[in-house]
Amino acid sequence: MKTTIDLTQLVTTLTENEGFAYLEKWAQHCLDEHIEPFLVGGCLRDSALYVKKSRLDLDFMIQPLEKTKFATQSLATLMESHFFPLDEERSIYRIQADALQFDLNGMRGEECIDDVFQRDFSINSLYTPLSLFLHHAKTNPAQVPVIDLFNGSTDLVYKNIRAHNPSTFQEDPLRILRAYRIASQIQGTIDPITYQQMIEDKKGLQQCSRERVREEFIKILSHPKSYISIFAMEEVGILSQFFPFFEWFVEVDQCYTSWLQLKDHVKAGLQYLEGIFQRIHAGDFPFAEELQLILKTSLAGDSTIEVSMKIAILLHDIGKPDTLRVVKDRLRFFEHENVGVKAARNYLHAMSFSSKETRFIADIIQWHMRPHNLSQVENLSLRAQYRFFRDTTPHSIPILLIALADAYATRMVPLHELPQYEAFVKNMLQYVFTPGIYTQTPLLDGHAIMEITGLLPGKKVGELQKKILEEQSVGNITTKQEAEEWIKKN
């Protein structure tokens, strides 16, 4: 069945990134070599639904199969970029260049319908010959003809995520996570029959490569309200197939129902954290502009500090079940941070998270209780503030935000209704962001200290430098001469 869809957004984005010019030249190369590329899948879906992404992903089916690598090399050369195989045995390749990503898949069936049938969902099964797309993109991009074999255009209208292939999740269980991710991106719903298939085939996720699961998990958490997907996956046992920690809380919650619900606390922590992020991005938070820059910092590929903080809040209390003690009718979790760090490191390593992501998340778990203790101190001293940032740098600010979300998840009150804790966080941010207050540059370097004291190079020199920095930060030392006098006295 043929229909038309609005691909204006896709054409505009391609033009802005010089992608349209590349595709025109490539289409001619393909024609000369008797190769036919078909544009298929998510890029058509997103354009029709006006979904914008930071990186434009285009999927192509290439006919014939044996010329897929040649076609990929041709496009990569035009773009002055590199390509790499995603699955060379199945002739699947990827080209990445700035804001563009192209995936090329060799057609394995005799007809297009054979390959399109193997795609995950009906809304991703729409396709059109590249030559036809390029022609209509210039004349009428709002009505580009596409081929719709599985009624995907109707599902697009209703934002319905439906698996047209009954074996779709058995063939690739990762599509279970992809369904949640797409649902959040397009603000759609999953077809009831498809949802039941997902639940029935969920154990297949354990057989997927950890790298692929991690990548899809990151994409789900990248949504501003990812807690909706996380809660839904947890409720039907899909989350536990690759994230087992909510199951760890069950026994504790059953034994101490009247005192504590760890699972609810951690889930609430994620929801509160995303609420705090929304306030920051809306400018409704102290030092919002500075925080926005921090949150969007990349740790590994598409994984930002903001996304990694969501993983950290989900993991921050995983050490509690193993450290539970009842002391004078109170539940206590001594050293749960240290136990949690070890468990988190093991999990993150097994899931192929980068060393940078792992260190970041481990640091947050290690230090997430420190702000709680400081928040109880009246008239917090400059020295206490300095020592917090000294000990927790470079992840001090994410730790503060995690602690705020944790405090809300403990008290379960609406955002803005913890004025004392919010004032504490604001005070700490003001301390670190105000120029001249918090410094990491000592007035005396190691050579100067050794010259004054007669010390040889070693730990003692470094310790004296740290002490000078602390005295600078509390205002006791303001000049090099005062630093020299302080060294002579100490």
- Render pLDDT for 164-207 as a digit per residue (tens, 0 to 9): 999 999 999 999 999 999 999 999 999 999 999 999 999 999 99
435 pLDDT higher than 70: yes
Q: Which of 30-44, 98-112, 350-364 has the lowest mean pLDDT?
A: 98-112
What pLDDT is stored for residue 366 in this prediction? 96
Mean pLDDT of 317-341: 82
What pLDDT is stored for residue 15 in this prediction? 87
Mean pLDDT of 37-46: 93
Position 238, amino acid: I
Residue 440: pLDDT band (50, 70, 90) is low
What pLDDT is stored for residue 199 in this prediction? 98
What pLDDT is stored for residue 288 in this prediction? 97
What pLDDT is stored for residue 278 in this prediction? 98
* Mean pLDDT over the full length of the chain: 90
69 pLDDT higher than 90: yes
Helices (H) and strands (E) in the chain, counts: 27, 14
Mean pLDDT of 79-84: 89
What pLDDT is stored for residue 408 in this prediction? 97
DSSP assignment of 328-376, as one string? Answer: TTEEE-TTHHHHHHHHHHHHHHHTT--HHHHHHHHHHHHHTTHHHHHHT
Backbone angles phi, psi at 51, to 5 degrees: -95, 120
What pLDDT is stored for residue 184 in this prediction? 95
Backbone angles phi, psi at 145, to 5 degrees: -65, 135
Would you state the structure tokens that stand for residue 260, as one six-digit string?
Answer: 């504590």
Give the residue extent of every domain in the chain.
Answer: 2-158, 244-433, 446-489
Q: Which of 106-115, 291-300, 334-343, 416-425 has the lowest mean pLDDT?
A: 106-115
- Render pLDDT for 216-273 as a digit per residue (tens, 0 to 9): 999 999 999 999 999 999 999 999 999 999 998 888 877 776 666 889 999 999 999 9
What pLDDT is stored for residue 259 in this prediction? 62
Distance, in Å, from the CA atom of 16 to the CA atom of 121, rounded to the nearest integer, reads: 29
What pLDDT is stored for residue 258 in this prediction? 63
Distance, in Å, from the CA atom of 180 to the CA atom of 27, rounded to the nearest integer, reads: 34
CB 444 within 8 A of CB 468: yes
Q: Looking at the domain that runs over 2-158, which CATH code has it been given?
A: 3.30.460.10
54 pLDDT higher than 80: no
455 pLDDT higher than 90: no
CB 225 within 8 A of CB 231: no
What pLDDT is stored for residue 260 in this prediction? 67
> Percentage of the chain surpassing pLDDT 70?
98
What pLDDT is stored for residue 231 in this prediction? 97
438 pLDDT higher than 80: no
357 pLDDT higher than 80: yes
Provide the edge-to-edge strand list for the sheet that holds 82-87.
Answer: 2-5, 144-147, 127-129, 36-40, 56-63, 100-106, 92-97, 82-87
DSSP assignment of 262-316, as one string? Answer: HHHHHHHHHHHHHHHHHHHHTT-STTHHHHHHHHT-EEETTEEHHHHHHHHHHHT
Nearest to 58 by CA among 21, 108, 105: 105
Residue 145: pLDDT band (50, 70, 90) is very high
More confident residue, 418 or 325: 418
> Percentage of the chain surpassing pLDDT 90?
67
30 pLDDT higher than 90: yes
What pLDDT is stored for residue 110 in this prediction? 75
Distance, in Å, from the CA atom of 323 to the CA atom of 332, rounded to the nearest integer, reads: 8
More confident residue, 115 or 474: 115
289 pLDDT higher than 90: yes
